Structure 1
Amino acid sequence: MKNETQNYNVYGAYFAPLRSSDGVKMLVDGLDSADLAVIPEHWLSYTSPPASAHTALALLYIFFTAAALIGNGLVIFIFATSKSLRTSSNLLILNLAIFDFIMMAKAPIFIYNSAMRGFATGALGCQIFSVMGAYSGIGASMTNACIAYDRHSTITRPLDGRLSRGKALLMIACVWIYATPWALMPLFNVWGRFVPEGYLTSCTFDYLSNSFDTKLFVVCIFTCSCLFPMCFIIYFYSGIVKQVFAHEAALREQAKKMNVESLRSNQNASAESAEIRIAKAALTVCFLFVASWTPYGVMSLIGAFGDQQLLTPGVTMIPAVA
């Protein structure tokens, strides 16, 4: 596999500079042969976007980065300074905050590339950006699945479903171990590789090269980083909703037997029923996870198996920013 990944762009590195001979500025103008060698051939024929597009993306990323770093930084700080919050369940929340912090800590690479209007940080910056993205993206998705499991166990098995500290730490360790192969295999060209995409200001795993290894890698990473956690999250949260609805039905049945309208206190009588509130919360979590992962998943599958002409630089920047 290693030899194959080193020859994805055999002739692109030599002929790409010739494509700007008509005076139109291309995406790859000004890049040396070492940088051109890591860029998928798909991007060589596209013109450079207007400077305003780079500026808008940089400003957007600055805003998101500041908000995310402050928010997740506060979570980490509060957890570190407040002993009462250091519960087993909150360890998972802390781990999620760490992954989100890492996700946005790579933003300066994107912002600098956007400010310089291209692949300014080169192959090294691309590798750093991609490794941090792989760890944080896959780690966050699996941590969300662990949080869903914890909530499901707590609600469906209130007597013995509480998460112990040892089990929480084991789950966190497993999440990091699970994410490691998907971050390191492309880094060392063992399987797959990390490449720039879109405006060449962000990087991800290669989903454009027309090889069996690339297609298989896309299927496997999509399954392991998106489908598996998505199925777990939907299963556990649907189980929570089912349990709560069953509990509410039992309360209504008991109230009917006692000839009362409700077993709830008058204070809660006019409030929204518990099952509706929990169902809304569960649906919101599931929707946000699907909405955040589906665009990138669909884009990578189109790149590997569909019409690559649909993947223009501008189109691929949408899920990269989202």
Structure 2
Amino acid sequence: MIVSNVSLSGCADFNSALCAGAGEGHLGGGSYRTALTPTGNLVVAVCLGFIGTFGLINNLLVLVLFCRYKMLRSPINLLLMNISISDLLVCVLGTPFSFAASTQGRWLIGERGCVWYGFANSLCGIVSLISLAVLSYERYSTMMAPTEADSSNYRKISLGIIMSWAYSLIWTLPPLFGWSHYGPEGPGTTCSVDWTAKTANNISYIICLFIFCLIVPFLVIVFCYGKLLSAIRQVRGINASMSRKREQRVLFMVVIMVMCYLICWLPYGIMALLATFGPPGLVTPEASIIPSVLAKTSTVINPVIYVFMNKQFYRCFQALLQCEAPRRGSSLKSSSKVPTKAMRGIAGTGPRRTNEFLFMVASLGQPAATVPQLGLSCEPTIDITKAPSSDNKPVVVSLVAHRDG
């Protein structure tokens, strides 16, 4: 989202920042064209077309699954829905306009449309980033809390969702009231915050936006998932082979999440800082459009990573395709209000009459890992819904499930 270097008559030989400023005065009539070649505009249009189409399909499918299957309506899945809704709004309110502008080689909906576009897409993008941070914290607190999850308690997640939107509004409303402003970016086919103005007013806003809307969510995600990995590694003493597989799976998920976050948003942040603090003309239109397109790919990637790699959603997706009921599995609930009874000494009790058994789970807090069909006897486990104690006992998440039949 770098402010555009537009090509205006009589402006070609001037400083690109001055050209961009001149371009803002012509937004109302849409009388300027972008600095990209027709081929460049075509490539951008094709990329945005794919992003908009698949982002719309992926996020709509997530919402359909959530509405159709009751088993998906858990608190933590509600947070996943918030991410999908914000990404879906980007696909509906943003991508079509930038796609149309790229096909025509100029911005089409005027200056007010540019301001609206910049505000709406910044709002939804920051909501998505903050929601990812809230999701990581919820998974971390669920595993480390000394209480069992409660699938009927939506208060904690609802507060997290409200906070994500309120936090985003705090940082996207100021440009509408004079703290920086929204304008053209990149080659002039999209709009966002003015990254190139060298005033103290604009620079102070950009610094705060970079720290509190990009760096802070990233640090929260890394910290929370790092703590989860540390907790999982403590399980090795109980079942080395099982915990190693769990650890490898969680590590793979964490690496994918962090890498996709960085791929989508880090180039965008770097280009914004270069445009803000670098000399005028340092960021070319060709270079600035790449980070903007990468940031929009998060609308396609987020549903794949956070939803379709979730076993519960994947089972429901298979059931939707096959027009049948989803396979039953256990569910790991995501809130922490119901007290959990410790199951110490269970190894000495022998077989029990009930059909309950404890299954050791060390995951990212995703609902519903499929539980194998075990016998009626209880295997020795350690209750690990509690945080690590001073005697360095392993931390595990215990899950009580009922065998079918």
Query: TM-score by structure 1 length?
Result: 0.79
Distance 1:238 1:184 in 2: 33
Amino acid at match of 2:263: A
Q: Does 1:280 align with 2:269?
A: no
SS of 1:311's partner is coil
Distance 1:107 1:78 in 2: 24
Q: Does 1:129 align with 2:121?
A: no
Name whichever structure is richer in helix by fraction.
1
How big is the shift at 1:192?
1.0
Alpha-carbon displacement from aligned partner over 1:143-195 (angstroms, at most 9, x marks no partner): 00111011112222363466731111111001100001222221x23311011
SS of 2:184's partner is strand
How big is the shift at 1:280?
1.6
How big is the shift at 1:34?
4.2
Q: In the alignment, what sits opposite 2:106?
A: 118
Distance 1:166 1:58 in 2: 42
Match of residue 99, structure 1, among 80, 86, 103: 86
Query: TM-score by structure 2 length?
Result: 0.64
Q: In the alignment, what sits opposite 1:296?
A: 268
Amino acid at match of 2:11: R
Alpha-carbon displacement from aligned partner over 1:219-260 (angstroms, at most 9, x marks no partner): 000111101100100000000000000122x315xxxxxxxx
Q: In the alignment, what sits opposite 2:195?
A: 207
- Identity within the alignment, %: 24
Q: In the alignment, what sits opposite 1:185?
A: 174
How big is the shift at 1:74?
1.0
Q: Is the 8 A contact 1:109 1:125 kept in 2?
A: no
Q: Is the 8 A contact 2:28 2:112 kept in 1?
A: no
Any unmatched runs of 5+ in structure 2?
A: 14-18, 295-405
User: Are the structure 2 counterparts of residues 272 and 162 from structure 1 closer, same or farther at C-alpha, using a change threshold of 3 Å?
Assistant: same
| Structure 1 residue runs of 4 or more that deviate by more than 6 Å after TM superposition | none
Q: Is the 8 A contact 1:192 1:205 kept in 2?
A: yes
User: Are the structure 2 counterparts of residues 88 and 309 from structure 1 closer, same or farther at C-alpha, using a change threshold of 3 Å?
Assistant: same
Distance 2:278 2:115 in 1: 26
Q: In the alignment, what sits opposite 1:258?
A: none
Q: In the alignment, what sits opposite 1:255?
A: none
SS of 1:208's partner is coil
Q: In the alignment, what sits opposite 2:235?
A: 247
Q: Is the 8 A contact 2:130 2:213 kept in 1?
A: yes
Please provide the CA RMSD for this pair.
3.0
Q: Is the 8 A contact 1:130 1:194 kept in 2?
A: yes
Q: Does 1:195 align with 2:183?
A: yes
Query: For 1:25-174, what aligned pairs fall within 5 Å after superposition?
Result: 33-35=25-27, 48-105=35-92, 106-157=94-145, 159-160=147-148, 164-174=153-163
Q: Is the 8 A contact 2:182 2:194 kept in 1?
A: yes
Distance 2:142 2:249 in 1: 17
How big is the shift at 1:273?
1.9
How big is the shift at 1:49?
2.0
